[in-house]
Structure 1
């Protein structure tokens, strides 16, 4: 199986930062991240994954008060972080988020090309469409793009980035001091893209990345997401709460990949999981109970409001969960499921906030290292996943328990590598290196 570590300051349980096992300190302490990265690399994980949001959540109650009071709400800029990790690691992949709604293709192409060069071919781009009006207001807009618009923009954005990565052919640079020629102009190309959302001439001010294209990650579950991801994603990061749901999603999505003319294994499905690990199953259940007892329901509700782009504070916290699925303007596919499940269970809004804070609707695997490995093995064996994005509930200890306990158990079972066999992230994931659309051989093959 393939494994990515979700690298964050405080973990994925919204009260995890309060537990005695959780570390404190400075969220910008680079040495902390470098230590975790070194541990993940020693465990031979495929990659580190850094998420991002371009605002501090202020949808709940129209203010950031709940977000900053109840949980660490700081977002370390991911490409800056990866630059530091690129020089402190040597083999593990490095994935980070850049929004297709609040960036430009040229910026994204140049930054990820640079990270791929600095790391020797280990970069991955998590292309997201962003979620809320708070982000829009930091980029001179009053409100976030609509669901269909932002996916249309994302499709064109991704295509332009990949085009820019191709504007330099592999052997374009061939310095010849005697001839006064540094590079061959015939092997450098304009992009000349003119579309609905972007007009980009190129060429890129960086040579083609070592991987050809850094690996493309996309996160989501909605129909629009699946349609876009089936066309071009190489890793997807979906939210699945149960094996039954994961199996259904996996089968349907892989069928869409095949329908798009791609091999099913050309996209790795890595759902997020929140592992709560202790020496025994009983101790793990006790740890889970301790974490859950620390939750303030508004921590979950403020997070949900930011993700849905809908203010849940307008509804009574002790009242039933309202059916607002047609008013979600943010992460729709994920919260259609969350809200329906809560209404079916008869939860109050406060109970939903507490439930969501336990693991952000991702599957929780609770138990000893052996028990957690059992669950992971079953999900992969029963075709619910190709691997996982591991989202520790608290940091750094939650990550360490997984790396030092679960990974060796998976290795003993022959389910995970004991050594890296390649040097690039594409090699770790078993993904082909893409051809260059300006290369003569590529053009000839495409013509056939």
Structure 2
């Protein structure tokens, strides 16, 4: 096992109101933040000033709630598409990475390769793609289908999809566009290659009509933790975003994924595992607890139940349950986000949760590690997981923004730096450089394949 660098990586999960379901009702949160580019620019600037490695934009191409009672009370359905927003933020930031979530299930690889390459050029090498397969049942009807493809099929197609996108990024070699006004040659076609991919799911000729991205390939991020997701991450992901609320399960996941990646010839430092953390920061424990109680008061029971139902995979009617009965050890397996269902059920059984307690836990954190406490307590928890190899860093999910983000930056970051666990400035020009990831070689140039 390779020795790691001594500092953790940090990302900011960039969401319009904050990660807590009731965040938009907090007086400090802009109610229209989801469609205010200046609000997002302010959040990105706070993270960049603190030397965060990247901002991370989630996405789902659908409304995810089941009924109007729930839709009426949530804020997430009024926000920008990620690549569009990050393209705007690329001109308002200089150093911080820009991670866009985009599904392989309902995109075409040529379109997505082109958009992400454009974002990488616009940002001078700071783009990343969070690769997901669609995991919400309401996405399928938006694209002419009755149901999502089954879980394993989505991952099998996704692997082919990613290989196609990477191949498209390589269809122009570095330096192909010479733009020589004297000779009249704009492009050196000896550095042009057709992809000519014909696979089980996709057929794509290429080439891409934009130069190879500055990073070679934008950084590849992935968030699955099911068996299929782990295999996918071990083969392709460079940053892995996961939900691991318990230290021991986090250590097992970390060891399993690194081992599988090594078996495929990859090195530990080229696969960074970054679980989510929801920090509720107070100068005292009592202050932090009061913050959480206030947020809970903002979240209607319809929203809490709807959130739990979604993250458990729409496999049961929670509203019909005796909420004070214990959660069973198993539920029907979902076709949606299987890894999160398992994480939540395992925790509920271990903690002997009632349905009421599980609903509240999911509403607060969606299954991520949540620390409610002082800056020292939060920093200690993060350093402990980093030192015990349960994490290479964290994706920070502030409960409200900008308030909880400011508190994390002003109170927790100094504690991490005091312990020598987080940097004070950027060390590279591109996101790859700042994450310590290698720039990929061009597959065609490496193989000595002639043009076209």
Please, which of 427, 443, 451 is the counterpart of residue 437 of structure 1? 443
Moved more, 284-293 or 306-315: 306-315
Secondary structure in 2 aligned to 1:204?
Answer: coil
What SS does structure 2 have at the residue aligned with 1:221? Answer: coil
Contact 2:273-2:392 at 8 Å conserved across structures: yes
**Greater Cα offset, 207-216 or 63-72:** 63-72
- The answer to whether structure 1 residue 298 and structure 2 residue 305 are counterparts is no
Q: Does 343-352 or 143-152 show the bigger shift?
A: 343-352
1:386 aligns with 2:392: yes
- CA separation in 2, counterparts of 1:335 and 1:324? 10
Tell me what 2:123 maps to.
119
Structure 1 residues 306-315 or 205-214, which shifts more?
306-315
What is the deviation of 1:92?
Answer: 0.4
Corresponding position of 1:147: 151
Q: Is the aligned partner of 1:261 residue 2:265?
A: yes
In the alignment, the residues of structure 2 paired with residue 362 and residue 317 of structure 1 have an alpha-carbon distance, to the nearest angstrom, of 24
Give SS of 1:126's match: strand
Q: What's the offset of the Cα at 1:115?
A: 0.5
2:92 aligned residue:
88
Deviation digits for residues 153-179 of structure 1, max 9, x if unmatched? 100000000000000001111123343
Report the CA distance between 1:308 and its aligned residue: 4.7
**Which of 407, 411, 418 is equivalent to 1:401?**
407
* Counterpart position of 1:326: 332
Q: Deviations over 1:69-90 (max 9, x none)?
A: 2454334200111011100000
1-structure distance, mates of 2:258, 2:436? 16
The equivalent of 1:428 in structure 2 is: 434
Q: How much is the aligned-residue C-alpha RMSD, in angstroms?
A: 1.9
* 1:268-279 equivalent positions in 2, closer than 5 A: 268-279=272-283
- The answer to whether residue 326 in structure 2 is matched with residue 338 in structure 1 is no
SS in 2 for 1:389: strand
Correspondence 1:179 to 2:183: yes
1:100-145 Cα shifts (integer Å, max 9, x gaps)? 0010111110001000000010000001001122001111111111
Change (3 A) 1:4 1:26: closer
TM-score by length of 1: 0.93
Gap regions ≥5 residues in structure 2: 1-7
Q: Structure 1 CA distance, aligned partners of 2:349 and 2:373?
A: 29
Q: Quick one: distance in 1 between partners of 2:106 and 2:29? A: 33
1: distance between equivalents of 2:360 and 2:373? 21
Instruction: Please say if residues 277 and 401 of structure 1, whose CA atoms lie closer than 8 Å, have aligned partners that are also in contact.
Output: yes
What CA distance in whole angstroms lies between the structure 1 residues aligned with 2:72 and 2:431?
A: 35
Partner of 2:222: 218
SS in 2 for 1:438: helix
| 2:254 counterpart SS class | helix
Q: Distance in 2 between matches of 1:308 and 1:151?
A: 19
Q: Does the CA-based 8 Å contact 2:56-2:100 persist in structure 1?
A: yes
Mean Cα displacement is larger for which, 69-78 or 205-214? 69-78
What is residue 5 of structure 2 aligned with on the other side?
Answer: none
Question: Alpha-carbon deviation of 1:330?
Answer: 0.4
Query: How far apart, in 2, do the equivalents of 1:17 and 1:196 lie?
Result: 44
Whole-angstrom CA distance in 2 between matches of 1:38 and 1:270: 21
Q: Does 1:377 align with 2:379?
A: no
How many positions carry a matched residue from both structures? 440
Query: Is 1:418 equivalent to 2:424 in the alignment?
Result: yes
TM-score normalised by the chain length of structure 2: 0.93
In structure 1, C-alpha distance between the alignment counterparts of 2:150 and 2:116, rounded to whole Å: 27
Cα distance in 2 for residues equivalent to 1:359 and 1:337: 12
Equivalent residues of 1:220, 1:239 under 8 A apart: no
Question: Hey, what's the Cα distance between the residues in 2 that align with 1:295 and 1:69?
Answer: 8
SS across alignment from 1:358: helix
Counterpart CA distance in 1 for 2:242 and 2:318 is: 29
Change (3 A) 1:249 1:235: same
Identify the match of residue 54 of structure 1 among 51, 61, 69: 61
Aligned CA distance change for structure 1 residues 105 and 90 (closer, same or farther; 3 Å): same
